[in-house]
Amino acid sequence: MTTEDEIAGMRAVYEPLAESVRRLIDVTIRTEADATTVAAAKAKIDCVADELSTSLLPGSFGVQQAGDGQNMAWGNVVIGVRNPVAPPLIVHHREDGSVWADFNLNAAYEGPPGHVHGGVCALILDHILGATAHKPGRPAYTGTLTLRYLRGTRLGELHAQAQVDRVEGVKTFAVGHIADANGITVEAEGVFIHPRVSKA
């Protein structure tokens, strides 16, 4: 088992690496550097990747268990602090069961020029709506998800929130939206399912 201090130590090592790779992703898309500079950059990145590859987890990061029963979903594409693809979202839970997150989406999440890809809005909403149903040690999986796009979502500062509409047996019905400073851009509703587990 991993203690809380050990987890904090691991996070202090790996989280800054992911943050630096996030910035590298952004400049990789936006750089206008010349061919020589880009080739030199690529060669250095390959060296760094080789150095980090001397010891690799097989497969994917998964969800690792900490000593206090907390899950470390550090590889998760939405919230993973070790995943440079994740913004990452920090999901806040309110006492009434609703959840919310404020986040910034940059050039890496683009679809139409200057706008968030509609599918990225779906990715964020799937996660935020699902978070209303997730319980520690009792994950919920998406059953269905429906998205209504009211208008384009510009890249930049955004807000997402979701709440439980009702619970029927193993099914949690959740609703939510993404909004910018001018209001809601995408609405969503979804059904999230807790797999039945045999009580040993």
Residues 92-111 that bind its own copies (CB under 8 A): 106-111
Exactly one of 72, 91, 101, 155 binds its own copies (CB under 8 A); that residue is 155
The residues in 3-62 that bind its own copies, with binding defined as CB under 8 A, are 13-14, 16-18, 20-21, 23-25, 27-33, 35, 37-42, 44-49, 51-57, 59-62
1 forms part of the interface with its own copies (CB under 8 A)? no
How many Å apart are CA 91 and CA 176, to the nearest integer? 13
Of 24 and 179, the one with the shorter C-beta distance to its own copies is: 24
138 forms part of the interface with its own copies (CB under 8 A)? no
How many Å apart are CA 78 and CA 111, to the nearest integer? 17
Q: 64-71: which pairs have CB atoms within 8 A and are 24 or more residues apart? A: 64/2, 65/1, 65/2, 66/1, 66/2, 66/4, 66/7, 67/1, 67/2, 67/3, 67/4, 67/6, 67/7, 68/4, 69/136, 69/137, 70/7, 70/136, 71/136, 71/137
Of 51 and 95, the one with the shorter C-beta distance to its own copies is: 51
Task: Please state the closest distance from residue 22 (CB atom) to its own copies, in A.
Answer: 9
Of 93 and 141, the one with the shorter C-beta distance to its own copies is: 141
SS3 at position 189: strand
For residue 99, give both structure tokens: 């959840």
For residue 84, give the nearest of 117, 130, 52 by alpha carbon: 52
Task: Please state the closest distance from residue 162 (CB atom) to its own copies, in A.
Answer: 13
Exactly one of 68, 104, 137, 146 binds its own copies (CB under 8 A); that residue is 146
176 forms part of the interface with its own copies (CB under 8 A)? no
Task: Please state the closest distance from residue 151 (CB atom) to its own copies, in A.
Answer: 9
